[in-house]
Structure 1
């Protein structure tokens, strides 16, 4: 599965990494356990079976016009996952974020066949903290994490090629 994602500024990334490490130190599932060099806090904008490199120029142009993008994190979200529960930080839908996600989806709609959960109006912006949680682990994780409000910025757009495990920063640095 491929995706187009927003990466965070240093401050926002450090806040999420602190959550990951807090969960890890408590012996709970955490994305800190995922050791891939491409593993970074991010907000997925669109997911599709294949997003080809032919889309990079259009995505880079959209990123150049929209970024940096202010983000507001508030509260926690829980999703059902394939192997347990998924705990995430909720990213509130500000007008610029909604417009940018819709724009990226529109760029990809004809070429990449985005998944239904990526459709504007269905998309729920979030930053994943942990996957594969049991209900007791979820309760422990929620008690550990503060659900308050904090801010960050999306500063980089990334296209993730899931089959080849390659990330492309757009526009390239």
Structure 2
């Protein structure tokens, strides 16, 4: 599978990495692979054939840390530009997932966050940010490439 990921500007990237560091100090790190970096996943698909050009940058609003299933995330408000990009990418790639009704834009902080842990209450995330670049992660080869 291949992802289409949007990457934050340097300031937002740094803030997320600080939050990862705080979680790591508490034994809650979950981003060990060297290719991982702060990102927002737009879709996953078996192939990127047909991927259109992506209109970046996109300014976004970011909510405080919250749980999404078992993951601790920074929710990203799906403004018109972000929704339009998702729709364009999703409709251009065969078997892309998720569809608009199931997409929850976010930046992951910890993937298997312990239930009942209150670390998130002590963390304050950025309120805004800019998504400036795009890349793809290949889950088979575990490699990334710029888009």
The alignment's TM-score, normalised by the length of structure 2, stands at: 0.90
Give 1:77 deviation, angstroms. Answer: 3.0
Unaligned runs of 5+ in 2: none
**In the alignment, is residue 91 of structure 1 matched against residue 76 of structure 2?**
yes
Structure (1 or 2) with the greater strand fraction: 1
**Greater C-alpha radius of gyration:** 1
Whether the 8 Å CA contact 2:57–2:131 is kept in 1: the answer is: yes
Give 1:6 deviation, angstroms. Answer: 0.4
The alignment's TM-score, normalised by the length of structure 1, stands at: 0.77
For residue 47 of structure 1, the aligned residue among 44, 47, 53 is 44
Structure (1 or 2) with the greater helix fraction: 1
SS state at 2:140 partner: coil
Deviation per residue, 1:148-168 (Å, 9 max, x gap): x51111111111111011211
Aligned partner of 2:107 in structure 1 is: 127
Give 1:107 deviation, angstroms. Answer: 1.0
Alignment of 1:11-22 (within 5 A): 11-22=11-22
Q: Between Structure 1 and Structure 2, how many residues are aligned?
A: 147
**In the alignment, is residue 164 of structure 1 matched against residue 141 of structure 2?**
yes
Give 1:8 deviation, angstroms. Answer: 0.8
Please give the alpha-carbon distance, in whole angstroms, between the structure 2 residues aligned to 1:44 and 1:128.
10
Alignment of 1:63-82 (within 5 A): 63=54, 66-80=55-69
Give 1:102 deviation, angstroms. Answer: 0.8
Unaligned runs of 5+ in 1: none
Please give the alpha-carbon distance, in whole angstroms, between the structure 1 residues aligned to 2:58 and 2:138.
23
Whether the 8 Å CA contact 2:66–2:120 is kept in 1: the answer is: no
